[in-house]
Amino acid sequence: MSRYYVGLDVHKASICIAVLNAAGKLVIESVVETGAATILGFLKGLRGQVEVTFEEGTHAAWLYDTLQRTKVKVVVCDPRKNRLLRDGNKSDKVDARKLAQSLRAGLLSPVYHGEQGVRDLKELVRSYEYLVEDSTRVMNRIKALYRSRAIACAGNDVYKAQQREGWLGKLPGPGARARAAALLGVSSSDGAAARGAQSLGRRVPPPPRGQGAAEGADARGGAGRAAHRGSRHAAPLPK
């Protein structure tokens, strides 16, 4: 039975493909549109045992899920550990070829993909961290707006919705008041969204034992670290 090693260099609009046979000879080199139908159609034309690799990145989760519809073996690799890709000439075709060569030689460091619950939890942790960062940035701008006009605003009262009109009234001029109102609205929305992401994270079922469980533990630990960072470095999210 024929054996093929396929390297995919994935981009927003296109995927560069390099296919090696069992002897390591380059037998196919192609560029296809980034889409499920095109990549599945290409792989369908390879008869035999097929192994596919691509780097962890923006499209990795989508492409991994797409390839689960096939019988190919999929390895999502860590781009930080692909030394072969960092050496020599750089181009999309060369990168795809080097990925296929590394796959054939067993030189890749795989990145775990699999349990949907783990990936959902990672997405929620990432969302929570981003929302806390965004909310903190907006809160700092709100206080800077008042301090630049010598208006004392220590504590968290300035963020409270029930005191909003009073704080807006302290600002001179409609322009400053409109800006503060907009920032306060964004702050409230980000805070509610962050609490929602945190709450949803608690409802994600734990993955089964094994590597997925370790990934889940890491993600849950990330949620805890994000919350701890938020409590130390940011003003409390507005209620």
Is the Cβ–Cβ distance between 9 and 90 less than 8 Å? Answer: no
Mean pLDDT lowest among 29-38, 78-87, 104-113, 202-211: 202-211
pLDDT reported for residue 227 = 44
**Strand, coil or helix: what is 160?**
coil
**Tokens representing 12?**
């927003």
Domains of the chain by residue range? 3-105, 116-233
pLDDT reported for residue 86 = 63
pLDDT reported for residue 89 = 59
The Cα–Cα gap between 182 and 175 comes to 11
Q: Tell me the percentage of the chain whose pLDDT exceeds 90.
A: 51
Is the Cβ–Cβ distance between 200 and 223 less than 8 Å? Answer: no
CATH superfamily of 3-105: ATPase, nucleotide binding domain (3.30.420.40)
**110 — phi, psi (to 5°)?**
-75, 150
**Tokens representing 104?**
């054939």
Q: What is the tens place of the pLDDT at every residue in 59-104?
A: 998 999 899 889 999 999 998 887 666 665 567 788 999 999 999 9
Task: State the average pLDDT for the chain.
Answer: 81
**Tokens representing 31?**
């560029």
Q: Is 234 a residue whose pLDDT tops 50?
A: no
Q: Is 231 a residue whose pLDDT tops 70?
A: no
Q: Is 192 a residue whose pLDDT tops 60?
A: yes
